């Protein structure tokens, strides 16, 4: 797959004319397969609708040629009542047909949304890190929404127009072949402009599609809590408004241009349509005057049937463009549905039982891109029940290491094992059921505290929820809120402080009760009071579990069973706190920077006091 500017191996915007292949057509057709019973009903109703549409012009011919010349009132009333009955049946048929059309189209688009949502859930973090904001919502709304309109109108119109044109052509040829040829002689005038208009509308539609995606990106990036906060703090409202207006203006310009081209096309078609009745009356009048073989009723019937002859051709001429657009939309949708899932369950993947928590990294190499190696030859052994810390400079690879345990990414080479099982050999669900993670950037849904906690385990009782919150030192705070556990936290938990969100996140992790717990700098941005509360909450969470901590606070590091120093994607040092201090390497340097002292200076603290003193130190840490 071609990469977009920026290096994504996933994202590719479809700009070119769609490749309408037999395989693409068959794949679109398979979307209708679950609803073949409804489709049979639609075909039957289209046939009935096509047949009933012939009745009124034919009955009008009999009124003019028989009932009126004979002055037969009973016959006139009979034909008029028959026309009324046929008109009612025609409208009823159209209503039922439209209902079935809508039913099928809405269910197909529902299936597509569901498939795409499922596919997007299955994609790895690498996919989302490269994806422009608003791209998925554009595909889910604009692309699938466009398919909805096409399915409910275009394809059924094609079928209906074919039946209407065929039945009408047969009828007029059986009535008078000379006038039939006159009617058909104008048809090429409807077809000639189609190719040129199709190219123009396709080019505009493609640009319009991309501009809508751009507009979605601007909206999604800026109109949320984080984005709007940044706009206000840096006073960028006017600049962002200009950016949005520029994209919106381009959308408007393209919309208008596409509409104008469509209107010109329809004007030309309507002009050609008006030639039909003129030619019928001219040729039919000449034949009637010269030979008397054509009646006035026949001419009126032909004029009445002209709309059924020309309208399908004009409609198909327009539909030709819509079919191309629909294929482009299907191609974009299928492009996403066919994206390679780089983190997927193996065909023979087994379900991981409740883990003991023994974690091993064996010669692990990981690359985000071919030219960027993030981890080089990582060898780590964390025994079940141990708590280990990862420390090192920013960008050293600490978070990447922790992301490989729950298989948010797959290793490039080497393997990660839990209890002797390669994480790639077990199902992702069973693997992640054993793992809990608390991150620095805690995400909470714009829902109640209870709903956010139940996300970990939907069947948890209120008593279990409260016990988890007591352990995480957040229960009393929640009770102090006006709505308690029913308090809505706002988008991304904006109504709560960083420490409060972290403790709710820890409670959520406790409720899940994982065997392996990962902390990714969970206290790095908190004040000392919040940190103390978090530390008290972490302690029971780590008890009898395997813990992997990206450390920022020294007190956490000092209590770890083992510390790994990560530098430039490698394990540079490992040992206990005391061993690493004595070694005088990278860890000692980071430790000394933490306390703003040279290696030869004495900070005046005992080891026990130093942990407490650290709580009052600046937030610059060794993580």
pLDDT tens digit sequence for 198-224 = 667 767 777 777 787 788 778 877 876
Q: At what angle do helices 36-62 and 296-337 cross, to 10 degrees?
A: 160
Q: Are 622 and 557 in contact (CB under 8 A)?
A: yes
Provide the terminal-to-terminal Cα distance of the chain, rounded to the nearest Å. Answer: 37
Backbone dihedral angles phi then psi of residue 230, each to the nearest 5 degrees: -65, -40
Q: What is the DSSP letter of 363?
A: E
Q: What is the per-residue pLDDT for 605?
A: 40
Question: From CA 166, how far away is CA 491, in angstroms rounded?
Answer: 58
Question: From CA 435, how far away is CA 526, in angstroms rounded?
Answer: 24
389-427 b/e with 16+ CB inside 10 Å = b?
bbbbeeebbbbbbbbbbbbbbbbeebbbbbbebebbebe
Q: Are 287 and 293 in contact (CB under 8 A)?
A: yes
Q: What is the per-residue pLDDT for 365?
A: 95
Q: How far is CA 434 from CA 52, 445, 540, in A?
A: 66, 23, 17
Given a cut of 80, whether residue 336 has pLDDT beyond it is yes
Q: What is the per-residue pLDDT for 320?
A: 66
Question: From CA 332, how far away is CA 339, in angstroms rounded?
Answer: 11
| Domain assignment of residue 575, yes or no | no
Q: Are 531 and 501 in contact (CB under 8 A)?
A: no
Mean pLDDT over each residue of the chain, to the nearest integer: 81
Give the residue with greater pLDDT, 441 vs 12: 441
Closest CA to 477 of 455, 515, 507: 507
The residues that bridge with 519 in the sheet, in sequence order, are 438, 549
| Domain assignment of residue 74, yes or no | yes
Q: What is the per-residue pLDDT for 606?
A: 41
| Domain assignment of residue 213, yes or no | yes
350-382 b/e with 16+ CB inside 10 Å = b?
eebeebbbbbbbeebebbbeeeeebbeebebeb
Question: Which ranges of 291-409 would DSSP assign to H, the alpha helix?
Answer: 296-337, 398-404
**3-state DSSP: the chain helix, strand, coil percent, rounded to 5?**
65, 10, 25
Backbone dihedral angles phi then psi of residue 176, each to the nearest 5 degrees: -160, 110
| Domain assignment of residue 111, yes or no | yes
Instruction: Kindly report the CATH number assigned to the domain that includes residue 166.
Output: 1.20.1560.10
For the chain, the domain total comes to: 1
Q: What is the per-residue pLDDT for 184?
A: 85
Q: CA gyration radius for the chain?
A: 36
- Token pair listed for 415: 């393997």
| Domain assignment of residue 92, yes or no | yes
- Token pair listed for 495: 């109504």
Question: Range of 323's domain?
Answer: 22-337
- Token pair listed for 360: 């091993």
Neighbours of 235 (CB within 10 A): 8
The residues that bridge with 563 in the sheet, in sequence order, are 389, 575
Angle at 564 between CA 562 and CA 570, to 5 degrees: 155
Q: Are 509 and 438 in contact (CB under 8 A)?
A: yes
pLDDT classification of 388: cutoffs 50, 70, 90: very high
pLDDT classification of 527: cutoffs 50, 70, 90: low
As a dihedral over the C-alpha atoms of residue 249, residue 253, residue 258, residue 260, rounded to 10 degrees, the angle is 140
Q: What is the DSSP letter of 552?
A: -
| Domain assignment of residue 536, yes or no | no
Closest CA to 545 of 345, 357, 372: 357
Q: Which range has the worst mean pLDDT, 52-61, 245-254, 309-318?
A: 309-318
Give the residue with greater pLDDT, 44 vs 609: 44
Largest CA distance in the chain: 125
Closest CA to 128 of 339, 334, 296, 288: 339
Q: Where is mean pLDDT largest: 144-158, 229-243, 358-372?
A: 358-372
Q: Which range has the worst mean pLDDT, 90-104, 131-145, 507-521?
A: 131-145
Q: What is the per-residue pLDDT for 610?
A: 41
- Token pair listed for 449: 């505290």
**Half-sphere exposure of residue 303: CA atoms within 13 angstroms, side-chain side:** 19
3-state secondary structure of 7: coil
Contacts of 131 (CB under 8 A, 6+ apart): 8, 10, 11
3-state secondary structure of 383: coil
- Mean pLDDT for the stretch of residues 337-343: 83
- Mean pLDDT for the stretch of residues 508-518: 90
Neighbours of 387 (CB within 10 A): 20
pTM for the model stands at 0.68
Given a cut of 90, whether residue 366 has pLDDT beyond it is yes
3-state secondary structure of 369: strand
| Domain assignment of residue 142, yes or no | yes
pLDDT classification of 317: cutoffs 50, 70, 90: low
Q: What is the DSSP letter of 494?
A: T
| Domain assignment of residue 399, yes or no | no
Backbone dihedral angles phi then psi of residue 621, each to the nearest 5 degrees: -120, -175
Contacts of 152 (CB under 8 A, 6+ apart): 101, 102, 104, 105, 106
pLDDT classification of 535: cutoffs 50, 70, 90: low
- Mean pLDDT for the stretch of residues 33-60: 91
Question: From CA 409, how far away is CA 270, in angstroms rounded?
Answer: 59
Q: What is the per-residue pLDDT for 528?
A: 56
Closest CA to 567 of 587, 596, 594, 593: 587
Q: What is the per-residue pLDDT for 497?
A: 81
Question: Which ranges of 425-526 would DSSP assign to H, the alpha helix?
Answer: 428-433, 449-454, 462-471, 475-480, 498-512
- Mean pLDDT for the stretch of residues 408-433: 93
């Amino acid at each position: 797959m071609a990469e977009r500017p920026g290096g994504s191996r996933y994202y590719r915007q479809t700009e070119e004319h769609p490749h309408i292949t037999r395989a693409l057509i068959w794949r679109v057709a398979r979307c209708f397969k679950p609803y073949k019973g409804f489709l049979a009903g639609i075909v039957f109703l289209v046939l009935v609708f096509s047949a009933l549409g012939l009745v009124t012009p034919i009955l009008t011919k009999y009124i003019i040629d028989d009932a009126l010349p004979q002055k037969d009132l009973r016959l006139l009333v009979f034909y008029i009542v028959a026309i009324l009955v046929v008109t009612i049946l025609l409208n009823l048929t159209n209503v039922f047909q439209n209902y079935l059309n809508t039913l099928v189209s809405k269910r197909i688009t529902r299936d597509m949304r569901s498939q795409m949502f499922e596919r997007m859930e299955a994609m790895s973090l690498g996919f989302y890190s490269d994806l422009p904001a608003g791209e998925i919502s554009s595909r889910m709304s604009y692309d699938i929404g466009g398919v909805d309109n096409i399915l409910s109108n275009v394809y059924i119109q094609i079928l209906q127009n074919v039946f209407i044109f065929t039945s009408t052509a047969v009828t007029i040829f059986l009535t008078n072949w000379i006038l039939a040829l006159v009617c058909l002689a104008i048809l090429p005038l409807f077809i000639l402009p189609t190719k040129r208009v199709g190219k123009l509308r396709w080019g505009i539609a493609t640009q319009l599609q991309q501009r809508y995606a751009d507009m979605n990106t601007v909206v999604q990036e800026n109109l949320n809590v984080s984005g709007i906060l940044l706009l206000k703090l840096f006073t960028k409202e006017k600049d962002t408004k200009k950016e949005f207006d520029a994209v919106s203006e381009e959308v408007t310009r393209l919309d208008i241009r596409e509409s104008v081209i469509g209107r010109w096309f329809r004007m030309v078609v309507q002009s050609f349509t008006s030639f039909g009745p003129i030619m019928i009356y001219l040729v039919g009048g000449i034949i009637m005057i010269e030979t008397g073989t054509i009646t006035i009723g026949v001419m009126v019937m032909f004029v009445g049937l002209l709309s059924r002859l020309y309208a399908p051709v004009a409609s198909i001429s327009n539909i030709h463009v819509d079919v191309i657009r629909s294929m482009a939309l299907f191609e974009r949708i299928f492009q996403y549905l066919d994206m390679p899932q780089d983190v997927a369950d193996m065909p023979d993947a087994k379900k991981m039982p409740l883990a003991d928590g023994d974690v091993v990294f064996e010669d692990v190499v990981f690359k985000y891109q071919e030219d960027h190696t993030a981890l080089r030859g990582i060898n780590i052994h964390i025994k079940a029940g141990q708590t280990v810390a990862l420390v090192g400079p920013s960008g050293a690879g600490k978070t990447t290491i922790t992301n490989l345990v729950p298989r948010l990414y797959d290793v490039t080479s080497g393997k990660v094992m839990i209890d002797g099982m390669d994480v790639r050999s077990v199902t992702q669900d069973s693997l992640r059921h054993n793992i809990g993670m608390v991150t620095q950037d805690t995400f909470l849904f714009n829902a109640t505290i209870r709903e956010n906690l139940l996300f970990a385990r939907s069947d948890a009782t209120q008593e279990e929820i409260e016990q988890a919150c007591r352990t995480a030192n957040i229960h009393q705070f929640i009770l102090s809120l006006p709505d308690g556990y029913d308090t809505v936290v706002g988008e991304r938990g904006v109504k709560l402080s960083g420490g409060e969100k972290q403790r709710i996140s820890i409670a959520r992790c406790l409720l899940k009760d994982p065997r392996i717990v990962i902390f990714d700098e969970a206290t790095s941005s908190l004040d000392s009071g919040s940190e103390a509360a978090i530390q008290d909450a972490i302690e029971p969470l780590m008890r009898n579990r395997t813990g992997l901590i990206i450390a920022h606070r020294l007190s956490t590091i000092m209590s770890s069973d083992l510390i790994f120093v990560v530098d430039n994607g490698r394990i540079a040092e490992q040992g206990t706190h005391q061993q690493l201090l004595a070694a005088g390497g990278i860890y000692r340097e980071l430790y000394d920077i933490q306390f703003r002292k040279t290696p030869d200076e004495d900070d005046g603290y005992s080891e026990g006091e130093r942990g407490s003193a650290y709580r009052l130190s600046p937030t610059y840490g060794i993580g």
